[in-house]
Amino acid sequence: MIIDVARQIALKNYRGSFSFEYDCPEELVLLPSARIQGKVQVEGEYEIYADDSVGILLRLGYLLCGQCSYCLEPAKKQVEYECEVLFLPEDDGENYSYNGFKLDLTTAVNDAVLFSQPQVLLCRDDCKGIDYNKE
């Protein structure tokens, strides 16, 4: 998950794309009894600006599995998420930073996983919850 910014500048490659699979740490899954099945698919594009800041368009996709938040039946949801982030060669307290040479996407990807998760995981869109009249 490293972009060698200095090398790309030397090669005059100011724009590019990337794609990789990521083993997401379990502790990033916020819903109880849920997990990410398989790897997170990460792809995106970068652009290196004249001031050495780097704009990133980041796209994630993963399968979230667990119990339905309403009825506790098994549930799955394919999550797709897209965001834009900015890396600066110095820390400004608001954006991501990098050392001016190599940019590590790990923190941005972890944050995107956190932001992309649904607040509830449902077995189906019209789930009404536990049916206490069911025998």
Domain-wise residue ranges, the chain: 2-116
pLDDT tens track of the chain, all 135 residues?
899 999 999 999 999 999 999 999 999 999 988 999 999 999 999 999 999 999 999 999 999 999 999 999 999 999 999 999 999 999 998 999 999 899 999 999 999 999 999 999 999 989 988 776 665
Position 135 scores a pLDDT of: 54
Residue 104: its H or E element? strand 102-104
Strand partners, 67: 74
Measured in degrees and rounded to the nearest 5, phi and psi for residue 59 equal -125, 135
d(CA 3, CA 133): 57
- Cα 132 to Cα 3, 72, 98, 124, 135: the distances in Å are 54, 13, 54, 18, 8
- Give me the pLDDT at residue 66, please: 96
Predicted pLDDT at 134: 61
> Quick one: tokens of 38?
């398989």
- Tell me the residue ranges of DSSP E strands in 23-114: 35-48, 54-67, 74-88, 96-97, 102-104
Which of 34, 56, 31, 35 has the alpha carbon at shortest distance from 107? 56
